[in-house]
Amino acid sequence: MADDLLKFVSIDQKMPEKRTAKERAEDFSEVYARYNVDGAKEQSSRCSQCGVPFCQIHCPLGNNIPDWLRLTAEGRLEEAYEISSATNNMPEICGRICPQDRLCEGNCVIEKDFDSVTIGSVEKFITDNAWDNGWVKPITPRKELDESVGIIGAGPAGLAAAEELRKAGFQVHIYDRHDRAGGLLIYGIPGFKLEKDIVGRRTGRLEQSGITFHLDFEVGGEAGLAELRENHDAILIATGVYRARGLKVPGVGLGNIREALDYLIASNRKGMGDTVPEFENGALDANGKNVVVIGGGDTAMDCVRTAVRQGAKSVKCLYRRDRANMPGSVREVQNAEEEGVEFVWLSGPEAFLGDEKVEAVRAYEMRLGAPDATGRQAPEPVPESSFTLDCDLAVMALGFEPEDLPALFGAPELRVTRWGTVTVNHSTMMTNLEGVFAAGDIVRGASLVVWAIRDGRDAAAQIKQFLRARATVAA
């Protein structure tokens, strides 16, 4: 180990090659290239193999990061893939889109003086390399079981649960409202962060493994929750949260004020070759427009960077707190600034101006006041500080809330919280309905993909336990 590791004192951090801002602003290809084998081995060799790996502790999946870094440094790449995929159903996806600066890399013990190990980029390399070498195989259960599980939602939580249940031999059916599987991985995240063929090969592997996808399937339309319960031995609700949070200010009903997800879905569909009428008529196309995005999370970063690639005249991000308190990834903010996005910190929208369509946003300056219950300083308006920004397209990226699932699913008996998330027993992940489980954002609220994967894996474990217990009683 001495020859292959602990080299952080002699080898600097080196990210994979990064395309120039000018080059990447012209297309939706990913920003970073991929390590070659030597590059991945070299950067993995910087791991200190510390006794208490903070990177692993701060990973929602508890990934065995030091182990697969060691194996990569030693050139044992197939073993590194096996270790990486043992705890994560989508390592190459998490390697691309996880906010490593807030999770594993941000808690690396060598970060402060030496820069952290490039964990995300190595994670991406390990599984991309495994795909290239044919090491990623369809699932072949040791024994086929008669019980079937219906999963509502083909996003990361549903896909992770489906894979774990299929490994155990269950018959798995996934129902999704969209015409492609992947959920927000396909429709919500732009290609410059996650190219769509990366998701497609994952869902394709699940199909090859015997998982049945029912796409363009609206639960509550094609069939209600009660009918699905009759058809399956267990149900997992993994719909995610899609309804945009609103903003109550004058002029919010003007034309060309759009929700972030509508904007991103249109752009992604266009990129995949679909005909998108609202893009074709210019309503969801930023080309030549002054764009103002309101919000400061990762979705807002996706929107501003999409607008740049669509040829916007100007792109501004209006956020009510300062840079230090911004929830979006630090790396994403840096990339956006390099690409020409202007951040208007400590500012909030006061009104949208225009006759039929928005022509400007009147905003006011804000300051950080007293901390709230979590210790975070609450923003408050500065009196008489209004200013105006030209705006032809305003995009609202204020977060997401659950839809009314009991009404949507035709299941008024399904219990939800006062926030609209599905109520579960957190020990079993089961709802108030026998055999109906829930996982992901529809339980915890809008969160990270890595947490959705974790929840999907946990739900699969609980479903397996439930079905085995029921089979034992029946026997």
Q: What is the pLDDT of residues 308-352, one digit of tens each?
A: 999 999 999 999 999 988 888 888 999 999 999 999 999 999 999
Rounded to whole angstroms, how far apart are CA atoms 426 and 420?
16
pLDDT at position 1, please? 45
Q: What is the pLDDT of residues 112-147, one digit of tens each?
A: 666 899 999 999 999 999 999 999 999 999 999 999
pLDDT at position 112, please? 66
Comparing 329 with 88, the larger pLDDT belongs to: 88
- Given 3.40.50.720, 1.10.260.40, 3.50.50.60, 1.10.1660.10, which CATH number is that of 148-241+402-474? 3.50.50.60
Rounded to whole angstroms, how far apart are CA atoms 198 and 28?
14
Comparing 327 with 71, the larger pLDDT belongs to: 71
pLDDT at position 215 over 90? yes
pLDDT at position 105, please? 93
Number of helical (H) and strand (E) elements in the chain, helices listed first: 19, 15
249: which residues sit within 8 A by CB, 6+ positions away?
A: 349, 350, 351, 352
Comparing 439 with 373, the larger pLDDT belongs to: 439
Q: Is 14 helix (H, G, I), strand (E, B) or coil?
A: coil
**Is the Cα torsion angle 317, 319, 325, 328 positive or negative in sign?**
negative
Question: 277-396 falls under which CATH superfamily?
Answer: FAD/NAD(P)-binding domain (3.50.50.60)
Locate the domains of the chain by residue range: 21-132, 148-241+402-474, 277-396
Q: Is 80 helix (H, G, I), strand (E, B) or coil?
A: helix
Nearest to 239 by CA among 180, 175, 185: 175
pLDDT at position 371, please? 84
268 backbone dihedrals φ, ψ, rounded to 5°: -65, -40
**Is the Cα torsion angle 197, 20, 97, 38 positive or negative in sign?**
positive
Residue count (the chain): 475
pLDDT at position 51 over 60? yes
Mean pLDDT along residues 89-95: 98
Stated as kind and residue range, the H or E segment containing 368 is strand 360-371
Across all residues in the chain, what is the average pLDDT?
95
Stated as kind and residue range, the H or E segment containing 383 is strand 377-390
Q: What is the pLDDT of residues 32-44, one digit of tens each?
A: 999 999 999 999 9
Rounded to whole angstroms, how far apart are CA atoms 117 and 45?
9
pLDDT at position 49 over 50? yes
Q: Is-same-fold flag (148-241+402-474; 277-396)?
A: yes
Are 24 and 31 in contact by the 8 Å Cβ rule? The answer is yes
Report strand pairing: 342-344 vs 347-353. Answer: unpaired
Q: Is 443 helix (H, G, I), strand (E, B) or coil?
A: helix
pLDDT at position 329, please? 85
**Cα distances (Å, whole numbers) of residue 295 to 39, 350, 451:** 37, 14, 22
pLDDT at position 3, please? 63
Q: What is the pLDDT of residues 184-212, one digit of tens each?
A: 999 999 999 999 999 999 999 999 999 99
Comparing 163 with 328, the larger pLDDT belongs to: 163
Residue identified by tokens 């090969």 is 201
Nearest to 59 by CA among 114, 90, 99: 99
Amino acid at 83: I
Report residue 52 CA to chain centroid gap. Answer: 28
Q: Return the CATH number of the domain spanning residue range 21-132.
A: 1.10.1060.10
Burial 28-46 (b: 16+ CB within 10 A, else e): bebbbebbeeebbbbbbbb
Two tokens at 346?
């400590």
pTM of this prediction?
0.95
